[in-house]
Structure 1
Amino acid sequence: MFRRTFWFTAGAAAGVWATTKVNRKLKQLTPESLAAQAANKAIEAGHRLKDFALDVRDGMAEREAELDEALGLDRHPELPAPRRIAAIENSPKHSKNPTYVERSTYSYNRNEDH
């Protein structure tokens, strides 16, 4: 009698366990769950890629500093004065020449030349 009760209970427990496992797997295979898993994997991959890019950037900066030190290069050379302001001040538009007309007033049609 105890044998039958034991095996009946063991079978019922195995059935409940198997049913629970199957239901969990089926829930994991629903479209919503698959989409959520894919999104999580993409976010995780993005974080890993970002970490890799930061490591590469740090390594590049470190190696560049080593090369600069080995070659005796100055990291912050003196930059020349900005030339753009002088070029704008000397342009025909800013001069007192009244014959200057901006280019944007001319319409150019390449078909008019023929």
Structure 2
Amino acid sequence: MIRRLLYLVAGAALGGYVVHKLNRTARAWSPAGIAGRVEDQVADYRAALREFNEDVHDAVRQREAELQSRYDSERGRPALPGAPPGRSTRPSGAIDAPDMKDGT
């Protein structure tokens, strides 16, 4: 009698667990569950793209500052300490650059 009762309780517990797992799987594969997973993935991608955009923006700002400091050093203002020595930092095609069409 006790053995039968033990098997009945074990069967009920196992059955409850299986029903719980099946309901959870059914909710995960329902349209709302799929939409939730897709929404989470899109949010992750948006965050990664936002971070990439910020990194690119920072790099562009840093490069612009470097170029501006090199350009300013040609006009008599001090340059950044990272400018390579002996190399012309004057950009070609500047507004006040001499006209080199005829070699003069």
User: Normalised by the shorter chain, which TM-score bucket?
Assistant: 0.5 to 0.7
Structure with the greater alpha carbon radius of gyration: 1
**Alignment-derived partner of residue 35 in structure 1:** 35
- Deviation per residue, 1:9-48 (Å, 9 max, x gap): 0111011011111111111111222123212211221012
**Alignment-derived partner of residue 56 in structure 2:** 56
Q: Find the residue that maps to 1:47 and give its secondary structure.
A: helix
Structure 2 residues not aligned, in runs of 5+: 71-79, 90-104
User: Does the alignment pair 1:71 with 2:92?
Assistant: no
Equivalences for 1:6-25 in 2 at 5 Å? 6-25=6-25
Letter in 2 for 1:50: R
Equivalences for 1:76-87 in 2 at 5 Å? none
Could you tell me the TM-score, scaled by structure 2's length?
0.56
**Alignment-derived partner of residue 106 in structure 1:** none
Q: Find the residue that maps to 1:19 and give its secondary structure.
A: helix
Structure 1 residues not aligned, in runs of 5+: 74-114
> 2-side partners of 1:32 and 1:5: how far apart?
40
Task: Give the direction of change, closer, same or farther, for the CA distance of 1:5–1:66 in structure 2 (3 Å limit).
Answer: farther
Q: Find the residue that maps to 1:5 and give its secondary structure.
A: helix
Q: How many residues align?
A: 74
